[in-house]
């Protein structure tokens, strides 16, 4: 019985969210506010149990108990900087919150330079010229496979897959390189191919997003008709 009650609540919230497809209404507002409230409450609880207690409160108690005054002062300083964030809620002292924000932004900016360089530039450059198997995308042997067995599969997936990818990356980068005028022959040449690559990428991204939303809808319908309904039907039939 308890399981059915919770599943019925989940059913009600699912239908309340889907009611927005018709128009904005009270049920959707209720589900929206409930979702935001539960999410914030869960985030606060997880932050308290997984961050504050093990990384601030417990180390601070141990440092004071062991007589490690220097470590205790460092931890207390970090807590003080964090408390300054709450000055945003006061009109006279909201400017104080700029100091912890500047410290956080400055630290994260400096800390993320090397990881961002590796993840967003070097790894993507490596992935542009090397396939997942570790072979070069501009591989003459793959082109030779097509001439040995001239099939459409070998043409698109062996001979031309790598060159088309490298060419697409090049023309798209040139398309967004605004240091040259449009009269430059390289820029003019890359304009139309770059638009084709961009439209294909945007279409694939939109299709992937649409498929993801449809999968969410299918998941909720599966919950209603294959999980909630059998239990509800058995309860009614006795």
- pLDDT (tens place) for every residue of the chain, 238 residues total: 678 889 999 999 999 999 998 888 999 999 999 999 999 999 999 999 999 999 989 999 999 988 888 989 998 898 898 899 989 888 888 899 999 999 999 999 999 998 888 888 888 888 787 776 667 767 666 666 666 767 666 666 666 777 888 888 888 888 887 766 777 787 788 888 999 999 999 999 999 999 999 999 999 999 999 999 998 888 888 6
Q: What is the pLDDT of residue 13?
A: 94
Tell me if the pTM is above 0.85: no
165 and 91 fall within a common domain: no
Determine how many CB atoms are found less than 10 A away from the CB of residue 212. Answer: 10
| 68 three-state secondary structure | coil
The answer to whether residue 230 sits within a structural domain is yes
The answer to whether residue 134 sits within a structural domain is no
**CB of 194 closer than 8 Å to CB of 173:** no
Q: What is the pLDDT of residue 158?
A: 66
The answer to whether residue 125 sits within a structural domain is no
Contacts (Cβ under 8 Å, ≥6 apart) of 171: 189, 190, 193, 194, 197
The answer to whether residue 120 sits within a structural domain is no
Q: What is the pLDDT of residue 183?
A: 73
The answer to whether residue 122 sits within a structural domain is no
Which single residue is written with the structure tokens 């959707």? 28
DSSP state of 63: H
Last residue of a domain, one of 46, 79, 111: 111
Distance, in Å, from the CA atom of 135 to the CA atom of 117, rounded to the nearest integer, reads 23
The answer to whether residue 203 sits within a structural domain is yes
Question: Can you give the residue range of the structural domain that contains 63?
Answer: 2-111
Last residue of a domain, one of 93, 111, 129: 111
172 and 102 fall within a common domain: no
The answer to whether residue 169 sits within a structural domain is yes
Q: What is the pLDDT of residue 39?
A: 96
Give how many domains the chain has, as a whole number.
2
Q: What is the pLDDT of residue 142?
A: 67
The answer to whether residue 148 sits within a structural domain is no
Distance, in Å, from the CA atom of 104 to the CA atom of 101, rounded to the nearest integer, reads 5
């Amino acid at each position: 019985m308890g399981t059915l009650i919770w599943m019925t609540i989940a059913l009600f919230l699912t239908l309340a969210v889907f009611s927005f497809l018709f128009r904005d209404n009270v049920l959707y507002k209720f589900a929206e506010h409930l979702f935001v409230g539960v999410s914030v409450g869960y985030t606060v609880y997880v932050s308290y149990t997984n961050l504050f207690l093990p990384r601030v409160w417990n180390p601070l108690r141990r440092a004071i108990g062991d007589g490690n005054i220097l470590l205790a002062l460092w931890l207390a300083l970090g807590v003080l900087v964090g408390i300054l964030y709450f000055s945003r809620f006061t009109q006279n002292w909201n400017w104080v919150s700029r100091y912890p924000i500047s410290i956080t932004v400055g630290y994260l900016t400096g800390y993320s330079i090397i990881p961002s360089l590796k993840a967003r530039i070097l790894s993507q450059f490596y992935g542009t010229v090397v396939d997942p198997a570790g072979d070069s995308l501009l591989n003459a042997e793959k082109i030779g496979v097509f001439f040995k067995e001239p099939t459409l599969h070998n043409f698109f997936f062996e001979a031309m897959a790598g060159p088309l990818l490298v060419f697409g990356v090049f023309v798209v980068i040139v398309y967004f390189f605004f240091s040259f005028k449009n009269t430059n022959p390289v820029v003019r040449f890359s304009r139309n191919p770059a638009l084709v690559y961009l439209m294909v990428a945007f279409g694939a991204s939109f299709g992937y997003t649409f498929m993801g939303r449809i999968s969410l809808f299918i998941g909720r319908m599966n919950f209603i008709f294959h999980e909630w309904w059998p239990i509800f039907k058995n309860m009614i039939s006795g």
